[in-house]
Amino acid sequence: MTASTSAPSTSAMLQLRGLGKSFELHHQHGARLDVLDEVELTLHAGECVVLSGPSGVGKSSLLRVIYANYRPSRGVVRVRHDGDWLDLAEATPHQVLEVRRRTLGYVSQFLRVIPRVPALDIVAEPLLETGLSTQEARQRAGTLLHRLNVPERLWLLPPGTFSGGEQQRVNIARGLIVSRPLLLLDEPTASLDADNRVVVAELLEEARAAGSAVLGIFHDEDMRDRVATRLFPMRPFQIT
């Protein structure tokens, strides 16, 4: 990993500099768990960078740190938000929420089910937060679910009882329904069949074509080859 010393190009969307993350476990005799150190990465608009490396190397943790789900222990996470750079490591919670609402999307491996809320509304919710009418938000959610081959009879049911693949497609729809300039994907296609993977790959290509930058984890090699414009190899944390 080489540090980029040049000034950020206008197309750069994300810059990680000297990023490190350690967990301090106060109830495990103060054990310290180091997961990331000195990560340097610049992500540009239109790119799809896929994180590679053996499991346990900290790929998921890196995405979570970028999403500000984990708080970085060291370094900076610069995100281009409304044309300006914002360091999420220093940002206020309200700033982070605003960045998540409009700039930074995250699709995890698993859908977080909300009791009693139907699939259609789960997908439509991020659109509602942007101020769209309920009717239009639902219509767009339906279009996306349809494209991801989620049968219409499931739309008005809460996804708690859906299969793993169905839940994952609802999750992808929710994550991609608002087009955000920066997308983080943590194995969103793990439980999908080949046909549906193709759909997701198409959706990602469309997002890139529209100028989004994508950073993801894809274990499936076909998928990785299909969507990646560049690989970002990660090495295990160096114990000093």
Partner 1 sequence: MSALLQVRGLSHNYGQRIGCQDVSFDLHPGELLCIVGESGSGKSTLLKTAAAQLTASSGSVRYHQRDGAWLDLDELSEADRRRLAREEWGFVTQNPRDGLRLNVSAGANVAERLMALGMRNYGQLREIARGWLERVEIDPSRIDDPPTAFSGGMQQRLQIARTLVTQPRLVFMDEPTAGLDVSVQARILDLLRRLVNELGLAAVMVTHDLAVARLLAARTMVMQGGRVVETGLTDQILDDPQHPYTQLLVSSVLTT
Q: Least distance from C-beta 143 to partner 1, angstroms?
A: 22
Kindly report the backbone phi and psi dihedral angles of residue 77, in degrees, each rounded to the nearest multiple of 5, phi listed first: -125, 95
3-state secondary structure of 99: helix
CB 14 within 8 A of CB 62: no
Q: Least distance from C-beta 162 to partner 1, angstroms?
A: 17
Q: Least distance from C-beta 17 to partner 1, angstroms?
A: 20
Q: Least distance from C-beta 163 to partner 1, angstroms?
A: 19
CB 231 within 8 A of CB 208: no
Q: According to CB under 8 A, which one of 3, 31, 117, 156 is a site residue for partner 1?
A: 117
Site string for partner 1, 38-67 (x = CB under 8 A): --------------------------x---
Q: Which of residues 68-97 bind partner 1 (CB under 8 A)?
A: 68-71, 93-94, 96-97
**Contact window for partner 1 (CB under 8 A) among 8-16, 24-32, 140-148, 216-224:** 24-32
Q: According to CB under 8 A, which one of 6, 116, 153, 239 is a site residue for partner 1?
A: 116
Residues that bind partner 1 (CB under 8 A): 23-27, 64, 68-71, 93-94, 96-97, 114-117, 128
